[in-house]
């Protein structure tokens, strides 16, 4: 799965910011490292981690602004793929917290893919 540096950055920031929304646990950290390795995205993962560390409290809203500026131009199927990726990653641990679900719903609304996310959630 070959991705451009921008796509890798989006992928890693999106996944990282959702996991950091409640504090990253060990399993999530391993999943982020695995994703970075699979995508050959070590630099992008480092960038995403630094982005979040700049100000942990505002990280989600800053990431949301950053992602919305890029993802608005993505075709709908790509936006759905990104939301699905985060949903699936969160499900790996067997549950999704209310905070994570809220964060994903905010992004899905921004990207006009709310219905698709809800279908994944109840699916």
Of residues 7 and 96, more confidently modeled: 7
Higher-confidence position of 70 and 99: 70
pLDDT at 60: 94
Q: How far apart are CA 44 and CA 36, in angstroms?
A: 8
Cβ contacts of 50 within 8 Å, gap of 6 or more: none
User: Is residue 111 pLDDT above 70, yes or no?
Assistant: yes
DSSP assigned state of 111: T
Write the Ramachandran bin of 61: left for phi over 0, alpha for psi from -120 to 50, otherwise beta: alpha
Average pLDDT of every residue of the chain: 91
In the DSSP assignment, the letter for residue 116 is H
pLDDT at 50: 97
pLDDT at 1: 54
Cα distance between residue 62 and residue 40, in whole Å: 24
The tokens describing 32, both together, are: 């982020």
Express as a percent the part of the chain with pLDDT over 90. Answer: 68
Please determine, for residue 93, whether its predicted confidence score (pLDDT) is greater than 90: no
Contact by Cβ (8 Å): 85, 15: yes
What would the pLDDT profile of 13-63 be if each residue is shown by its tens digit?
A: 999 998 887 788 898 899 999 999 999 999 999 999 999 999 999 999 999
Q: Where are the alpha helices (DSSP H) in the chain?
A: 5-20, 26-39, 42-54, 59-71, 76-91, 98-110, 114-122
Contact 86, 4 (CB under 8 A): no
């Amino acid at each position: 799965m070959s991705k451009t540096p921008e796509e890798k950055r989006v992928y890693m920031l999106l996944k990282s910011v959702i996991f950091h929304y409640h504090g990253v646990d060990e399993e999530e950290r391993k999943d982020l490292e695995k994703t970075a390795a699979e995508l050959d995205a070590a630099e992008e993962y480092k960038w995403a981690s630094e982005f979040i560390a700049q100000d942990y409290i505002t990280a989600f809203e800053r990431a949301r602004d950053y992602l919305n500026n890029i993802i608005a131009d993505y075709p709908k199927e790509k936006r759905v793929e990104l939301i699905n990726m985060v949903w699936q990653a969160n499900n790996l641990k067997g549950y999704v917290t209310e905070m994570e679900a809220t964060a994903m719903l905010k992004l899905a609304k921004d990207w006009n893919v709310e219905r698709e996310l809800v279908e994944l959630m109840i699916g």
